[in-house]
Structure 1
Amino acid sequence: MSRLKDILYKVSLEAVIGDTNVTIKDIHFDSRKVELNDVFVAIRGTQSDGHDFIQKAVENGALVVICEEIPEKTINGVTYVRVKNSQEALAIMADNFYGNPSKNLKLVGVTGTNGKTTVASLLYQLFTKAGFKVGLLSTVQVLVADEKFPATHTTPDSLTINRYLKMMNDAGVEYCFMEVSSHGIAQHRTTGLVFAGGIFTNLSHEHLDYHNSFAEYRDVKKAFFDHLPASAFALTNVDDKNGRVMLQNTKAKKYTYALKSVADYKAQILENDFGGLLLKVNDQEVWTKLIGTFNAYNILAIYAASELLGLTTIESLKYISELTAVSGRFQYFISEDKITAIVDYAHTPDALQNVLDTINSIRTKNEELITVVGCGGDRDRTKRPKMGHIASALSTKVVFTSDNPRTEDPDKIIEEVEAGVEPQNYKKIMSITNRRQAIKTACQLAKKNDIILIAGKGHETYQEINGVRKDFDDLKIVTEYLKELKK
């Protein structure tokens, strides 16, 4: 139970009708969850407007309504607070309601198009190995020390974030690593949180269905660094042309990492094969089970962040050598028939190219590289032909298929992907809408020493079609078919 005036601390108020000295039980932005003496925050979303549900929330027992527009008809005994931005107000209120939990641990945010999950998850692994109690807020899962919770968004809503951070406080967690998405930044989900550090991985074509332009997408990412405190560190990949942009206005201490450019933290790839990577990091050699140039960047970011958070070079390198792959991120196995199957979350042109380049740099070219890939529905359509072009140019065979079509016609999505295929690559491609059948076909096409890449869904264990999520696990399915074909 909290007093309203206490949880409104630092919220910019435009008008108040009623009493702010009331005691409230909980905060919600979904009117269906509101109970007696709760606060309802009316948020304008992409699908619906919370202001349309103010009356319903009051009927359910809301004692307080936070809104950008006070309704014409108000109810006696209910406090109405007008704010400029309800999402920002919700974030600050959530922080206050849960006792400002981010101040009680070292919270590090990881942002960028690709690599967020890997960097955050591996930092969780590394600091756990180092003997600390650690938290993780990621696309794959939420971890409060050893306790696991399912993840619903890359960056959860601000109430959920602060509730998990409070649980971490109660569990004695010292470090938390968190993926910070562009949607999360734009929707103020991270507002009010105190970060000990921020990491920028890279920036490429993504989410242009939500952001109006690439420049807007970049500037939203930059806003995260603009708001870091002077006590924090800002660590950025300067091999990416947008890397230094992130540091332009930050008050945080600035650090850089790179494979190709002059930087505070440098790495060189000495060996790269299906056994792992041998890297020279700031003149120290380290071997890791992770594979590929993109993972060399991830490892370098992890190494730099661990040192900036107080671990010694020897500790960092020791634990890096023990790290294991993150679910759905270049996760692979070799069948009894010596067929290598790789499952990866690559769902952007840049990520797909990175994975295919990595495979091509390792393989001998005597074997086939069969790629199964599609694009999600109700998302950025402009990337679809690019994905088709990259998959067909860098593979020996491609099966275009359905990803998560959501409310779109999967056949139409595949047509847009196929539009990017150049004439010389037409013979390489086939299209099978049913994803299970597409994976089975890839397995049937594969011979000894061939490589199958199943891209786009990675760790996801479902396929979403017309609002219904059905069980679907790429890794499980390809494993079953390769075993079946062996028989």
Structure 2
Amino acid sequence: MNLKKLIQGLDIVSCEGETNREITSIHYDSRKCQKNSMFIAINGFNTDGHEYISEAIENGATTILYKNEVNKKQSHITYIKVKNSRLAMATLSNRFYDYPSKKMKLIGITGTNGKTTISFLLGEIFKQWGVKLGIIGTLGNYLGETLYKGTHTTPESVDLQQILHQINEEHIPYTVMEVSSHSLELNRVEDTNFDIGIFTNLSQDHLDFHKNFQNYFQAKAKLFHMTDKANIINGDDIYGEKLISLSKGREIPVYSYGIKNNCDFVAKNIKIDNKGAFFTVNIENNSEGFYINIPGIFSIYNALAAIVLAYTEGIPLEITRKALSNLPGVPGRFEMLDTNTPYGIIIDYAHTPAGLENILKTIREFSKGNVIVVFGCGGDRDKGKRPIMGEVAGLYADFMIITSDNPRNEEPLSIIKDIVPGIKKTGKPYKIIEDRKSAIKSALAIGKKDDIILIAGKGHERYQIIQNEIIPFDEKKIINQLLGEGEVDAKDD
């Protein structure tokens, strides 16, 4: 694309060099630059892109877009300075890929918990409907049945627009995207055309980034000013109620769902066991029954969001009903392992106070024995939630093993010490085992008949982040290895 056309209307501070040149690709990673590409220097959480401008040029970049000062400039390179490089990157990416979101129906899901599960529920519904669906989120990017690995819940704007463009190339008419608060605050989804927004809930997470709940909420709320067809909102959540009030001024329909409040779609006649949940919803004056193969009240909320979306799109109720009952589960979300042990083992991604509370409450409802939980908290993230996680675990579990999660650049024991005060408030017994594999082994060793062991925090992740290293760590494989090699003697008494 011609550079002069590409940067037209951009908020430019200064421009040095030739603008009548072709740009073949746009990158924020200098290693991916090639001949005639544009390199955009952005400030990341750990690195500053301005430090890699020389490397980008060596790899073929002929245009550099930046925000901070650049001291050494080369005469054959075009240098464009802007006020906000992330915002500029979103604008340029949309233009470069010819505004791909306008050529599909794009559904954005935001909230602290439930985004991934709702995406998978919708994936099964659309599959049963016979319509291809793209999914962009925590577990990767699905183009129909093909999975591509991702690095963020919501990709950086260049990657996002490239993925949306690829979805168009595959003739996939719908896309569901998990929209993180980071992506909304950091302009990753700027200029993206959303048709429908779904709000799940808001609980403590990411306050290391947002600083307070008001900022966190305002970041999430941005999505619901970017939609142009409809908004679907959890009316039982206090922030959902606020969002409904804020959405009333817009000329698009707002559909609320819930269990307790007077919502448009309300789940009633709820029955939950250790296999799943049944409930009814009044739709067009008929009481419609649904069953989902994931236990818990939180699963009903997730199912409701999917049901409402399907209804607004005119998907027959029989298809939605069949899809919800067919989906075996979501990787790393209340995943009950088949281990032939006298106790149950569940892996879940729960890494927030609300997420941990939801799953422990559900387990407590059907557990006939003790509830044992292995968990930790991530490093370089919201420290305020650590003692809250400890207190939640102590309230609902019988025994806790506190361990390492993704410590990143923090000392694991320092993170664990932040969790312990919350547990002590409950007076429940606990053990500290820093090494996560050893912690899992200890839990398996003390588990008895009818107990439930919850391994929380990592779910679908197959790695640990220690310092700047990504180390393979597949909990399902580790559990099977510990049990299969006889390292753990499962107790029947």
Settle same-fold status: TM greater than 0.5.
Answer: yes
Structure 2 residue aligned with 1:146: 145
Q: Secondary structure at the match of 1:391?
A: helix
Q: Is the 8 A contact 2:394 2:400 kept in 1?
A: yes
Structure 1 residue aligned with 2:163: 164
Q: Secondary structure at the match of 2:405?
A: coil
In structure 2, do the counterparts of structure 1 residues 336 and 45 end up closer, same or farther at CA, with 3 Å as the change threshold? closer
Q: Secondary structure at the match of 2:444?
A: helix
Structure 2 residue aligned with 1:233: 230
Is the aligned partner of 1:136 residue 2:140?
A: no
Alignment of 1:265-414 (within 5 A): 265-282=265-282, 283-364=287-368, 367-414=369-416
Q: Is the 8 A contact 1:27 1:38 kept in 2?
A: yes
Q: Could you tell me how far apart the structure 2 residues matched to 1:76 and 1:469 are? A: 40
Q: Could you tell me how far apart the structure 1 residues matched to 2:130 and 2:164 are? A: 19
Q: CA deviation at 1:424?
A: 5.2
Q: Is the 8 A contact 2:97 2:161 kept in 1?
A: yes
Structure 1 residue aligned with 2:195: 196
Alignment of 1:235-274 (within 5 A): 235-247=232-244, 248-249=246-247, 250=250, 252-274=252-274
Structure 1 residue aligned with 2:183: 184
Q: Which amino acid aligns with 1:331?
A: E
Is the aligned partner of 1:32 residue 2:34?
A: no
Q: Could you tell me how far apart the structure 1 residues matched to 2:174 and 2:5 are? A: 27
Q: Could you tell me how far apart the structure 2 residues matched to 1:423 and 1:85 are? A: 46
Q: Secondary structure at the match of 1:205?
A: coil
Structure 2 residue aligned with 1:422: 424
Comparing 373-382 with 55-64, which one deviates more in the overlay?
55-64
Q: Is the 8 A contact 1:235 1:254 kept in 2?
A: yes
Q: Could you tell me how far apart the structure 2 residues matched to 1:219 and 1:424 are? A: 33
Q: Which runs of 5+ in 1 are unaligned?
A: none
Deviations 1:160-212 (A, max 9, x none): 11111121111111111111111111111111211111110000000011112
Q: Could you tell me how far apart the structure 1 residues matched to 2:58 and 2:451 are? A: 62
Q: Could you tell me how far apart the structure 1 residues matched to 2:371 and 2:122 are? A: 32
Q: Secondary structure at the match of 2:423?
A: coil
Q: Could you tell me how far apart the structure 2 residues matched to 1:55 and 1:477 are? A: 43
Q: Could you tell me how far apart the structure 2 residues matched to 1:33 and 1:479 are? A: 38
Q: CA deviation at 1:143?
A: 0.9
| Matched-pair identity in % | 38
Aligned length: 481
Deviations 1:362-407 (A, max 9, x none): 224xx11111111111111111111111112211111111111112
Q: Is the 8 A contact 1:70 1:81 kept in 2?
A: no
In structure 2, do the counterparts of structure 1 residues 438 and 70 end up closer, same or farther at CA, with 3 Å as the change threshold? closer
Q: Give me the TM-score of the superposition, normalised by structure 1.
A: 0.94
Is the aligned partner of 1:224 residue 2:223?
A: yes
Structure 2 residue aligned with 1:99: 98
Q: Secondary structure at the match of 1:384?
A: helix
Comparing 197-206 with 252-261, which one deviates more in the overlay?
252-261
Q: Secondary structure at the match of 1:123?
A: helix
Q: Could you tell me how far apart the structure 2 residues matched to 1:478 and 1:53 are? A: 42
Give me the CA root mean square deviation. 1.9
Q: Which runs of 5+ in 2 are unaligned?
A: none
Q: Could you tell me how far apart the structure 2 residues matched to 1:267 and 1:29 are? A: 45
In structure 2, do the counterparts of structure 1 residues 187 and 23 end up closer, same or farther at CA, with 3 Å as the change threshold? same
In structure 2, do the counterparts of structure 1 residues 486 and 244 end up closer, same or farther at CA, with 3 Å as the change threshold? closer
Q: CA deviation at 1:227?
A: 2.2
Q: CA deviation at 1:213?
A: 1.2
Q: CA deviation at 1:103?
A: 1.6
Comparing 74-83 with 319-328, which one deviates more in the overlay?
74-83
